[in-house]
Amino acid sequence: MIRALIVLVLVAGCAAGCPAPKCEKKTNLLKNDAWTQVAADDDPFANGTALTEPDDEGHYPPDDPGSGTPHNARDCTAADFFSEDLDGDTSLTVDTNVCGWLTIEQTLQEDAAAGDSMFARIFYFQQIAPGISEAHLALTVDGKPFYKKTIPLPAPSDLIADDFTAPVDAKKGATLMWHLDNHGVNTWNLLEISKTVPIDCPKE
Q: Is residue 10 part of a domain?
A: no
Highest mean pLDDT among 13-17, 71-75, 89-93, 152-156: 89-93
DSSP H helical ranges for the chain? 2-17
pLDDT at residue 50, as a whole number: 42
Indicate the average pLDDT of the chain: 80
Least confident of 58-67, 80-89, 120-129: 58-67
What gap in Å lies between CA 57 and CA 47, rounded to an integer?
A: 12
pLDDT at residue 115, as a whole number: 97
Q: Is residue 9 part of a domain?
A: no
**Residue 200: C-alpha distances to residues 114, 115, 116 (Å):** 23, 21, 18
Q: Is there a contact between 100 and 134 (Cβ–Cβ < 8 Å)? A: no
Q: What is the pLDDT of residues 82-114, one digit of tens each?
A: 999 988 889 999 998 888 889 999 999 999 999
Region 38-55 average pLDDT = 66
Confidence of residue 40 (pLDDT cuts 50, 70, 90): confident
Domain count, the chain: 1
Q: Is 190 helix (H, G, I), strand (E, B) or coil?
A: strand
Q: Is residue 16 part of a domain?
A: no
Q: Is residue 14 part of a domain?
A: no
Higher-pLDDT residue of 16, 195: 195
pLDDT at residue 41, as a whole number: 83
Confidence of residue 201 (pLDDT cuts 50, 70, 90): confident
Q: Is there a contact between 105 and 92 (Cβ–Cβ < 8 Å)? A: no
Highest mean pLDDT among 113-122, 126-135, 154-163: 113-122
Q: pTM above 0.85?
A: no
Q: Is residue 87 part of a domain?
A: yes
Pairing of strands 117-124, 36-37: unpaired
Query: What CATH number has the domain bearing residue 75?
Result: 2.60.120.260
Higher-pLDDT residue of 168, 56: 168
What gap in Å lies between CA 7 and CA 2, rounded to an integer?
A: 9
Q: Is residue 144 part of a domain?
A: yes
- The alpha carbon of 75 is separated from its chain's Cα centroid by a whole number of angstroms, namely 20
Q: Is residue 7 part of a domain?
A: no
Q: Residue 149 sits in which domain range?
A: 25-199
Q: Is residue 94 part of a domain?
A: yes
pLDDT at residue 17, as a whole number: 62
